Amino acid sequence: MNSQIRNIERILGERLKPVFLEVLDDSAKHAGHAGARQGGGGHYIVTVVAEAFAGKGLVEQHRMVNEALRELFGGQIHALALHTFSPERWRERGKGARA
């Protein structure tokens, strides 16, 4: 696991207290793209399941993640693909309560 992923996980873990968090480096699919970083990093797929998302719409959930990671944009992060869920919605999708 690279240091950028660990940093993203640390920040989201502290700010959102997720019951499930997965961060995948998707940068290889963007090789040659202006935002691709040499040596990987920059493009991430992030799945977050957190009680903090309960009762909030998708836009607000994404806003919360982007705000938490704001300091990393333009440096460690070029783009995020976000998948955010409350624990209830996660269970409804049949994902269970993976931690």
pLDDT greater than 80 at residue 30 = no
Helices 58-68 and 3-16 meet at what angle, rounded to 10? 120
pLDDT of residue 23: 95
Locate tokens 């409804």: which residue?
A: 92
Q: What is the largest CA-CA distance in the chain?
A: 40
Q: Number of structural domains, the chain?
A: 1
Tell me whether residue 11 is in a domain.
Answer: yes
Other C-beta atoms closer than 10 Å to the C-beta of 64 total: 20
Tell me whether residue 60 is in a domain.
Answer: yes
pLDDT of residue 40: 47
Give the structural domain span for 69. Answer: 3-92
pLDDT tens digits along 38-79: 544 588 999 999 999 999 999 999 999 999 999 998 888 888
pLDDT of residue 1: 60
Instruction: Enter the pTM of the model.
Output: 0.81
Tell me whether residue 80 is in a domain.
Answer: yes
More confident residue, 99 or 42: 42
